[in-house]
Amino acid sequence: MNKKTSSLSKKILKINELLIQKYGIPYRPQNSPSPIDMLIATILSQNTNDRNSYKAFTNLKNNYNSWDEIAKLPVKKIESEIKIAGLGKQKSFTIKNLLNTLIKKNNEISLSYITEKNDEEIIHALTDFPGIGLKTASCVLLFSLKRNVCPVDTHVHRTSNRIGIAESNTPDKTYVLINNNLPENIAHSFHTNLIRLGREICKPANPLCGNCPLNKICKFKNKNYSSTGRNIEKNFMLLDNV
Ligand code: SF4
């Protein structure tokens, strides 16, 4: 499929423009975090809010000198350091296993070996680690390596299906549909602003359709105009603050 000419690409481009009109071009730090920092921050962000996962990440970064030091900690200690992010048992196991596997495999804790690979190869390499799925791996591609890849979390999945740019029952299928049709150089603004829309306006229950910049092009059958409550701004993005 030609990404530049498909009608889905054109629709994604239009949505991106409307979201930029509403929210502006999202903040993006000049210096990208290393892939290993980004991967661990994203593991911590699973099933919690950005403020709690940011706190868990800074607990690890501020209390220890290096990932090597953290690799030597008992898994229970890692679990207590990241408790605020929830799912401590699972996340501490994933982090400890990742760090120790890298030491065994490469004699160092670094993911620099993935940076020359193409997007697909990187996804394959990262999802080989237990506990790391497509969303987590694609966040490394977008936020650390600045590739034109749109990760699909629960907000991107829900809003994309409501708007009509995807028709799928899982975030991973939505990921394929969107990324096969993603125009060049828009992944960061499209992803970030769509998450913001999902948190503030296109909420899981009672979306605020009367306040939505995508109202005219959205195909959702059950639009809600009964509540036009104030939007609560939720624009702190963990992965742009690692
Ligand atoms: S119009 Fe309603 S359902 Fe459609 S994207 Fe906006 S808030 Fe979501």
Tell me how many domains the chain contains: 2
Per-residue pLDDT of the chain (242 residues; tens, 9 = 90+): 454 458 999 999 999 999 999 999 999 999 999 999 999 999 999 988 889 999 999 999 999 999 999 999 999 999 999 999 999 999 999 999 999 999 999 999 999 999 999 999 999 999 999 999 999 999 999 999 999 999 999 999 999 999 999 999 999 999 999 999 999 999 999 999 999 999 999 999 999 999 999 999 999 999 999 875 666 666 666 677 77
Q: Write out the two tokens for 36.
A: 């290993």
Domain span at residue 131?
A: 35-144
The vertex-17 CA angle with 14 and 19, nearest 5°, equals: 110
Closest by CA position to 38, among listed 156, 132, 158: 132
Q: Which of 98, 125, 144 is the last residue of a domain?
A: 144
Per the CB < 8 A criterion, the answer to whether 32 and 146 are in contact is yes
Ligand 1 pocket, CB under 6 A: 159, 162-163, 201-202, 207-209, 212, 214-215, 218, 220, 223
Are 39 and 139 part of one and the same domain?
yes
- Same domain (yes/no): 175, 94: no
Q: Tokens for 112? A: 């620099």
Q: What is the CATH number of the domain that holds 177?
A: 1.10.1670.10
Q: Which among 82, 70, 57, 66 has a CA at the least distance from the CA of 242?
A: 57
If asked whether residues 19 and 40 sit together in one domain, one would say no
Last residue of a domain, one of 102, 122, 144: 144
- Taking the centre of ligand 1 as the mean of its atom positions, its distance from the CA of residue 120, in whole angstroms, is 31
Please check whether residues 40 and 140 belong to one and the same domain.
yes
Greatest Cα pair distance, the chain, in angstroms, is 59
Whose Cα sits closest to atom 8 in ligand 1?
A: 202
Query: What spacing in Å lies between the alpha carbon of 207 and ligand 1's midpoint?
Result: 6
* pTM to 2 decimal places: 0.91
Q: How far apart are CA 168 and CA 177, in angstroms?
A: 9
Cα 5–chain centre separation: 26
Distance between CA atoms of residues 220 and 214, nearest Å: 11
